[in-house]
Structure 1
């Protein structure tokens, strides 16, 4: 779902596509790692405004925070995001129905702006992202802080 706010348009249009392209391996890693620990859930990326700054060419590493929120913690955790009931329903339905080894539910957050995505027909699946990132952890480490949130937390 694309929000109406023009901040999301950033650099020459829809900046999220570029962000996702640049960070898909880590998003997939987080999705599969969270699924292995807690089952179904959503990856939440908290993105700093500098990621969409006109001076950001996309070639430099943009640090962001990533969190996996398990399905059983979803309602409680997302209340802090001030989503309206329709968006909460859409998110809960997406998390309940996606195919974890083939798809990713992603909530991107920048300040008060939110966007929900369901990724299907991926070129690389979450288990493959997990394997690749695990093998090359040092290469991916500079851009990410990850957290998982499940029933144990």
Structure 2
């Protein structure tokens, strides 16, 4: 679900695609790690504004913060994001129905802009992302900073 008329539409219309492509392994890793620890949930990526800067070619590593919000904590945790009730309902339904071993629910946040995605038909599944990142941690670690509530 894309937001209308926002900064997110910069960089030729959709910079998020290249961000997701560059960081899918870490997003999948975080999704599977969160599922193993807490059950179903959503990955929240808090992305710095520099990710959408016109001079960002997408080749640089874009640091971001990642948090897994478990399904049982979802409504209370996302109230701080000021989502309208319709989007909250969509997010709750997506988290309640996705297949954690094959799909990812992702909420991307940049300042007050939000985008919710449900990734299906992935080329690499979250358990595989987790295994690969775990084996090659030094290669992936610089791009991710996890945070807690």
TM-score (norm 1): 0.95
Count of aligned residue pairs for this structure pair: 149
Verify the 8 A CA contact 2:32 2:100 in the aligned structure 1: yes
Verify the 8 A CA contact 1:34 1:148 in the aligned structure 2: no
User: Hey, what does 1:48 align to over in structure 2?
Assistant: 48
- Secondary structure of the equivalent of 1:118? strand
Off by >4 Å, runs of 4+ in structure 1: none
Taking the aligned partners of 2:13 and 2:85, their CA distance within structure 1 comes to 28
User: Hey, what does 1:26 align to over in structure 2?
Assistant: 26
Taking the aligned partners of 1:9 and 1:27, their CA distance within structure 2 comes to 22
Alignment of 1:94-109 (within 5 A): 94-109=94-109
Verify the 8 A CA contact 1:69 1:148 in the aligned structure 2: no
User: Hey, what does 2:137 align to over in structure 1?
Assistant: 137
Verify the 8 A CA contact 2:27 2:43 in the aligned structure 1: yes
Taking the aligned partners of 1:24 and 1:50, their CA distance within structure 2 comes to 19
Taking the aligned partners of 2:79 and 2:19, their CA distance within structure 1 comes to 25
User: Hey, what does 1:83 align to over in structure 2?
Assistant: 83
> 2:122 aligned with 1:122, yes or no?
yes
Task: Show CA shifts across 1:23-71 (max 9, x none).
Answer: 0000000000000000000000000110010011111111000100000
Verify the 8 A CA contact 2:6 2:113 in the aligned structure 1: no
TM-score (norm 2): 0.97
Mark the CA change 1:148 to 1:98 in structure 2 (over 3 Å): closer, same or farther.
farther
Calculate the aligned-residue CA RMSD, in Å: 1.0
